[in-house]
Amino acid sequence: MKFLDQARIFIKSGTGGAGAVSFRREKYIEFGGPDGGNGGRGGDVIVECVDGLNTLIDYRFLQHHKAQTGVHGMGRDKSGADGKDVILKVPVGTQVLEEDNETVIADLTTIGQRVILLKGGNGGFGNAHFKTAKNQSPRHANPGLAGVEKWVWLRLKLIADAGLVGLPNAGKSTFLSVVSAAKPKIADYPFTTLHPNLGVVKIGEHDFVLADIPGLIEGAHEGSGIGDRFLGHVERTRALIHLIDATAENVVNSYNIIRGELSAYGHGLDKKKEIIALNKIDALSEEEIKEKSLALEKATGEKIFLVSGVTHKGVDTVLFEIVKDMKQVKEKKKKQEEEGNEKPWTP
């Protein structure tokens, strides 16, 4: 299935049914009176988060979604049926945005979550509704209220606990294939990964979801390479694993390029916990590894992890660091919840 993480669609709620103008005319009934029923309500446009989907490809080919119009009222006090709702089924992590592609209408992060995007129009009153002591035979009814329509954007942001970032050919796909059951495309040329991949990592008694996104190059925020749009898929992560190709001539420059792109993209990515890993150390001598790791440590002021996706060396150390950070975040959140639930003492 082709991966699609963004789609523009047209949605319209149903128009309410019109009320009926009708009078009761039956044999042997001298004073029949008005009996026009009310119109039915128009259908709503609802977005629902469901399991089993991981792309928005369905909305690439079906872009118009209209709820059903309410049925008109009828004689004998028969009210029209409500129009059927339109339910847009989307994967976990989908955001619904206004046509400006910036204003968020809904953010669906849990399975079963539902949001009404547009409400259907109310049905009109039939002439039976307007009957009064002074006006016993009204000859007018209300039309139904018109539905609402607009264009919206659907944007998918994958739900993952940690994300892999780095330059093309830094070894991100290899790393993901080693630590999980995911099978991303791996080759010895840049931009092998053209869409994000997810893998479930199991380490010790813990497991978490790891996301691999296409590689970034300098100027990605300006559209160079394949741009930085895929960075949206690591916005929800707790930590980033920054893989740096140890065979590069200047590893510090490689690090600075990615940091610059994260900062230019914004959305807090440059403030997330970062685990810096010097990858492909199997291709270097001990002296080269020491020299490059020291240069990185001096430039970043952070601990540098030495890994090799091919030989699996140092991989578990990085994974346990992710687990350690996740446990700290959970403990901190739990503590905050407990403090918030404490009731103030009263005599």
Angle in degrees, 0-180, between the axes of helices 286-300 and 251-265, rounded to the nearest 10: 40
pLDDT at residue 337, rounded to an integer: 67
Whole-number Å distance between alpha carbons of 293 and 252: 9
* Average pLDDT over all residues of the chain: 86
CA-to-CA distance for 281 and 288, rounded, in angstroms? 9
Which are the contacts of 4, defined by CB distance < 8 A and separation ≥ 6?
55, 56, 57, 59, 60, 156
* Contact of 175 with 164, CB cutoff 8 Å: yes
Q: Where are the domains of the chain?
A: 1-135+145-156, 162-338
Amino acid at 338: E
What's the CATH class of domain 162-338?
A: alpha beta
Which pTM does this prediction carry?
0.75
- Best-predicted range by mean pLDDT (118-127, 165-174, 316-325): 118-127
d(CA 341, CA 198): 36
The percentage of residues in the chain with a pLDDT greater than 70, rounded to a whole number, is 90
Highest mean pLDDT among 11-15, 133-137, 261-265: 11-15
User: ∠ CA 169-264-166 to the nearest 5 degrees?
Assistant: 15
> Residue 69 pLDDT more than 90?
yes
Position 332 scores a pLDDT of 73
CA atoms within 13 A on the CB side of 61: 4
The whole-number average pLDDT for the span 238-258 is 90
Q: How many CA atoms lie within 13 A of 266 on its CB side?
A: 1
pLDDT band at 283 (very low <50, low <70, confident <90, very high): confident
pLDDT tops 50 at residue 1: no
What the block records as the tokens of 67 is 């709820």
pLDDT, greater one: 280 or 194: 280
- For 5-50, write each residue's pLDDT tens digit: 889 999 999 999 999 999 988 888 777 889 999 999 999 999 999 9
Distance of alpha carbon 106 from alpha carbon 103, whole angstroms: 9
Three-state DSSP state, 281: helix
Q: Using an 8 Å Cβ cutoff, are 184 and 177 in contact? A: yes
Q: Which fold has domain 1-135+145-156?
A: Spo0b-associated Gtp-binding Protein; Chain: A, (2.70.210)
| CB-side neighbour CA atoms (13 Å) of 300 | 26
